[in-house]
């Protein structure tokens, strides 16, 4: 019988308090997520101080529930994994502090995990990873193309220079009167509209793999505000479709060119925006057309948002590679992978 290694994982990088128990990096025994959406909706986005206070309120309850649902005790746990960056510093500190306290009290190894590695490893629940590999990580705060020559080797070859894709969705959502988080609603509206506004595709043809969505956001907002000043009512479905088409075109174009340059066996799609049906459909089409020999693993829809199960999967990998942290582990809100030389 294969060895059973259980990871107790913590994720508190933004506005979800989550604790999970994961077996061997591939089996979720529990994944408790306490969301704060209702608390932040009235502000139109995440308020860091509010998020931190909610984490304090929920972290112990989520931990107890995760252990109970998995039907395990601390004696069954091999290691404690925790997101220590990137994210909101106050939120990260709650998870890091809880993980350190448990690791110290029960004499368990403490495994530090990059939040974006966690998003990437959400796809590990779909299938086995094969290397070399490319990942398109698209979330509320990050848009990155990450090349992995081998397991545990991460290299950013492209990233957003301003607004991340998910951030842009939320900002234009406010203009349309869509509650935070806006991504799901914009995606649904886009399916009912057409790309009639032809918003700019920033940096689409530039000889790099970086992204920029600030100009798109500004063009969208200016279009809506100018129409409002003229008393003109624009079709919200066409607006959503036009915005989303611009985002998807740039993400797909850059990803395909990255795959042209870096021969890989797999493409991973992960992060909160990876739940977008328009993006999934476009990448499915382009992969079959341009890179039929490269398999694509898409993170499960229920694991695209922030959750501790993804940290457990990544934490298991890091644990196997000997990653350990001491009791001096601190939150690193600006944590990044190594950039391309």
CA neighbours within 13 Å on the CB side: how many for 186?
33
Residue 170 is labelled as binding a ligand: yes
- d(Cα 324, Cα 248) in Å, to the nearest integer? 38
- d(Cα 101, Cα 211) in Å, to the nearest integer? 39
H or E element, residue 12: none
Bridge partners for 32 per DSSP: 19
- d(Cα 309, Cα 32) in Å, to the nearest integer? 9
- Of 104, 8, 1, 18, which is closest to residue 303 (Cα–Cα)? 18
Residue 228 is labelled as binding a ligand: no
Residue 137 is labelled as binding a ligand: yes
Residue 138 is labelled as binding a ligand: yes
Residue 187 is labelled as binding a ligand: yes
Pairing relationship of beta strands 79-85 and 110-114 according to DSSP bridges: parallel
Count other Cβ atoms within 10 Å, centred on residue 41: 12
Interacting residues of 159 by C-beta distance below 8 A, sequence separation 6+: 142, 143, 144, 145, 210, 211
- d(Cα 242, Cα 115) in Å, to the nearest integer? 31
Interacting residues of 232 by C-beta distance below 8 A, sequence separation 6+: none
Residue 85 is labelled as binding a ligand: no
Reply yes or no: is the peptide bond before residue 181 cis, omega within 30 of 0: yes
- d(Cα 38, Cα 61) in Å, to the nearest integer? 19
- Of 169, 170, 89, 126, which is closest to residue 310 (Cα–Cα)? 126
Residue 183 is labelled as binding a ligand: yes
- d(Cα 330, Cα 57) in Å, to the nearest integer? 20
Residue 50 is labelled as binding a ligand: no
Buried b (16+ CB within 10 A) or exposed e, 114-148: bbbbbbbbbbbbeeebeeebbbbbbbbbbbbbbbb
Extract the annotated binding site for Fe cation: 115, 119, 306
Extract the annotated binding site for substrate: 137-141, 170, 183, 187, 276
Extract the annotated binding site: 115, 119, 137-141, 170, 183, 187, 276, 306
């Amino acid at each position: 019988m294969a060895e059973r290694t259980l990871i107790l994982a913590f994720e508190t990088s933004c506005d979800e308090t989550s604790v999970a128990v994961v077996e061997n990096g591939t089996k979720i025994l529990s994944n408790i997520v306490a969301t704060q959406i209702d608390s932040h909706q009235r502000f139109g986005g995440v308020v860091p101080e509010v998020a931190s206070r909610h984490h304090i309120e929920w972290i112990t309850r989520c931990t107890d529930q995760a252990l109970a649902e998995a039907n395990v005790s601390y004696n069954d746990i091999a290691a404690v994994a925790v997101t220590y960056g990137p994210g909101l510093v106050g939120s990260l500190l709650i998870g890091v502090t809880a993980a350190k306290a448990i690791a110290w009290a029960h004499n368990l190894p403490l495994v530090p995990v990059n939040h974006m590695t966690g998003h990437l490893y959400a796809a590990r629940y779909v299938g086995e990873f094969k290397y070399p590999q490319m990942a398109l990580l698209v979330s509320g705060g990050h848009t990155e193309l990450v090349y992995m020559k081998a397991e545990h080797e991460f290299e950013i070859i492209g990233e957003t220079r301003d607004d991340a894709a998910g951030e842009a969705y939320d900002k234009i959502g406010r203009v349309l009167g869509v509650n935070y988080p806006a991504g799901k609603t914009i995606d649904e509206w886009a399916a009912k509209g057409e790309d009639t506004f032809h918003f700019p595709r920033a940096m689409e043809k530039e000889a790099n793999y970086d992204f920029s969505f600030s100009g798109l956001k500004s063009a969208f907002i200016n279009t809506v505000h100018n129409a409002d000043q003229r008393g003109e009512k624009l079709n919200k479905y066409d607006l959503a479709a036009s915005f989303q088409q611009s985002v998807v075109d740039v993400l797909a174009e850059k990803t395909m060119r990255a795959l042209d340059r870096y021969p890989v066996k797999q493409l991973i799609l992960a992060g909160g925006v990876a739940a977008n049906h328009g993006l999934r459909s476009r990448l499915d089409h382009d992969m079959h057309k341009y890179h039929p020999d490269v398999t694509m693993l898409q993170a499960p829809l229920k694991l695209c948002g922030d959750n501790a199960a993804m940290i457990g999967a990544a934490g298991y990998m890091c644990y196997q590679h000997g990653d350990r942290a001491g009791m001096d582990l601190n939150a690193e809100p600006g944590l990044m992978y190594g950039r391309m030389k």
